[in-house]
Amino acid sequence: MRTRSAWVAVSATLVLAGAVALPAACGSTPAGSSAQSGVSSAALSAPVRLATDRSRRSAAVVASGGAAAPYNYAPSVVLDGGSYRMWWCSQLPDVGTPGDDVLTASSAALDGPFGQATAAFHGSGTGFDAVHTCDPSVLKVKGTYYLYYTGSAGDLAHGNAIGLATSQDGITWQRRGDEPVVVPSLETRRDNAYGVGQPSALYLDGWFYLMFTDTTAKAAGWNGAGQFVLRSPDPSFATGTQQLTASGFTPTPTGRSDGTPRAVSIVDAFSADWMWVDALDAFAVAHEADGRGTVVTFWNRDFTAHPYAEVVLDGPWQEGPGLVRRADGHAPASADDPCDRVPVDLVRAVRQASAPTDLMHFGVDLTGVGGCRSPATLDGFAMPAPDRTVVLVVDGHLVHVDRRSVADQLAAAVLDTPVDGLDSLPVVAAVSPGAAAVHAPDRPYALLLDGKLWPVGSARAVQFNSSPVSEVSDEEWDGMPKGSDLSLFGRGRM
């Protein structure tokens, strides 16, 4: 098991390294992204205090590798296809190379029970992640799952690095090359020789964002604490990579994740997680603080200001939180009040054994957020249209769905009445009864709409739509143009 001295005595000071105030982001922008013009002087000086209610916690441990697993921590929790899927760090006997494994299980409810845990990923036996794979962060973008993880070849000084694997089902993973996607910067040598790891990824406006620990970075604290940010349109961070610096997001000299000093940290902590909250137009960064539980710190889009005051989810903890997120790393919308509530739920280890263990659920609702001012808040929600069809909000656009039964499969919820202003959104596709569908052996079902594949997950939505299915190879499926992923929100999954 890897040395974990990096994760003790965590500081929770909420400052930029060197008290730097960051200007607006710069650099090229992928198609579909949007610019943010900065914040008002009032926002800079007075973060809004959010009201909260519905505080909750599980009565018992919600997930475990069983009696044979000596520890369970660092979960990544995704609301995917109407169920909760969790990946976390543990170790099972007789699974690949002895060392940290990534386990997975799923449940219909956050308080469990999460089913029998299985080892989804483990040490490769050779290379940078020969022995340990830990700290998973899972995304799903356009039907593909991405697993960012900490890998190491053993308990070596600065031996941790961040790797990437991909999957079509979140269970069977393929490494993306033999090299890590992020390595230690080695700018500073400290007593804490952990290196780089504890990744957390999300997808926003065409960019893959990656937050991570680097105990060798210039801006890390005396004990190595700090969270650094990269973004790239390339999930491997091999091209087009930008790093958050004192001048905003700046292209790296090589286009890869290296080559630029890591001089700005967004929170003084280890083992943090984050998500994009559409209703607040802000990043929410969850990290642990001694004696306080989990602190959620908010940053605006350009990391120039804290638009909202921190929120604390108190209670016992031993190791970093895993926020409950949509599959793209965004905050789930409230099923009963998507306009005015944002649920903030997380899972964290609460007991120290040989390493942190006992994963429990904690949560609270943010209230009065006025989220429907942003159409993105309603992503995944459906509602009646004037022509008696149903419209589904996807990526800030509308998809017309003729049959309510199909909308029930695709949507997080179907509202009884439309939201004001929805008719201003462009219609990008229509799901008509009998629309053609495509399936491949290791790929999800997808509807073929205007020459593009729109993944819907399981066969149920296809069946309810009376869609004829064409079987193709995985390679043919991958080669077809893609629309938005319609399996992110509803009950459909492979």
In the chain, CATH 3.30.2390 sits at 379-479
Query: What is the CATH superfamily name and number for domain 54-369?
Result: Glycosyl hydrolase domain; family 43 (2.115.10.20)
- Of 206, 176, 84, which is closest to residue 484 (Cα–Cα)? 206
Which pLDDT tens digit goes with each residue over 330-344? 999 888 888 889 999
| pLDDT at residue number 213 | 97
Q: Which residues pair with 439 in a beta bridge?
A: 471
Which pLDDT tens digit goes with each residue over 194-252? 999 999 999 999 999 999 999 999 999 999 999 999 999 999 999 999 999 999 999 99
> Which residues, in sequence order, are CB contacts of 152 under 8 Å at separation 6+?
2, 128, 129, 130, 131, 132, 159, 160, 161, 195, 197
| pLDDT at residue number 377 | 78
| pLDDT at residue number 289 | 81
| pLDDT at residue number 423 | 78
- Interval 5-18 mean pLDDT: 35
Mean pLDDT of the chain: 87
| pLDDT at residue number 56 | 97
- Could you tell me the strand order of the sheet in which 118-121 lies? 51-57, 356-367, 341-352, 319-326, 73-80, 83-90, 101-107, 118-121
To the question of domain 379-479 being in CATH 3.30.2390, the answer is yes
- Using the predicted structure, report yes or no on whether residue 33 has a pLDDT greater than 60: no
pTM equals 0.86
> DSSP secondary-structure letter at 395?
T
- Of 325, 313, 324, which is closest to residue 287 (Cα–Cα)? 313
- Using the predicted structure, report yes or no on whether residue 37 has a pLDDT greater than 60: no
In the chain, CATH 2.115.10.20 sits at 54-369
First to last CA, the chain: 33
pLDDT above 90 as % of the chain = 67
| Confidence category of residue 491, pLDDT binned at 50, 70, 90 | low
